[in-house]
Copies of this chain bind each other. A is one copy, B any other.
Amino acid sequence: MATTQTGSQAVERASALLGLIVESGTPRTFSSLVDELGLAKSTTSRLLQALERNRLVHRDRAGAFRPGALFSLHAARPSALHDLSELARPTMEHLSDLSRETVNLAVPRGGALVQIDQVDSCYMIGAANWVGVDVPAHCTALGKVLYAYGALALPLGNLERRTAHSPVDHAQFDHALVEVRRRGWAASLDELELGLTAVGAPVRTVDGTVVAAVSVSGPTNRINEYGITKLGDLLVAELRGLSALLGHQPAQKKGST
């Protein structure tokens, strides 16, 4: 009845299970899945078995469910991150239109920050390529965002000093991250290079986990002229839409139970 959509109920339910398992980064127990979807234990069990047979979920030795080999397989492909870029492209281009500056997308990978896509500024100056470039994350807006929201493990060793403005004191840096969380966005003024300023904000999944960050960057004077706070708020607002893309609208359906 409810939402009366043509088609497959079983597939719909199985997909919902998969969604829960993949979106919550942590392993899910059988019973938590039963509770959350409100399906009969038997049904849930059968669906999960089917998914497991097809390598869509994997139950670890503790019996908890995690994304299966097909997901790992996809993640290992070089094109995987490109896919994320594709999802993010429209938003990034829109941000570039609005700010007229360079926009970057980064994810945490192997304890470091990896910039995976970029939309260039329309100005001549400021259009450098950052994709794949190795930068000290603590000096960047992207890095601060990922640090602030736990997407990247906090740096333990010395904080490299790139410029006179680079953060090098751990306590002070931690405090800066608190500020990032409060505002919802991060900035880096002349911290990586003199004259280079960036503002970044998080991309979240539906459960709130931060999986990526987007930044707008350009010459410090131009960015200041535009207004750092204005940029930060703009980013947060625009990325809300992107985050929604990654999430799954609850599609509140009256359970038959």
Given A18-B56, A50-B12, A211-B76: A114 touches B110 (CB 8 Å cut-off): yes
A8 touches B81 (CB 8 A): no
B110 touches A50 (CB 8 A): no
| Stretch among A63-71, A156-164, A173-181, A220-228 lining the B interface | A63-71
Q: Does A91 contact B (CB under 8 A)?
A: no
The number of chain A residues touching the other chain, given as a range, is 35 or more
B114 touches A131 (CB 8 A): no
Complex Cα spacing A109 to B67, Å: 20
Which residues in B have their C-beta under 8 angstroms from that of A131? 110
A73 touches B246 (CB 8 A): yes
B54 touches A18 (CB 8 A): yes
List 20 additional contacts besides A22-B73, A111-B132; criterion CB under 8 Å: A6-B46, A7-B49, A11-B11, A11-B50, A15-B54, A16-B54, A18-B70, A22-B70, A54-B248, A55-B248, A72-B80, A73-B84, A73-B211, A74-B75, A75-B81, A76-B81, A76-B212, A78-B110, A109-B109, A110-B116
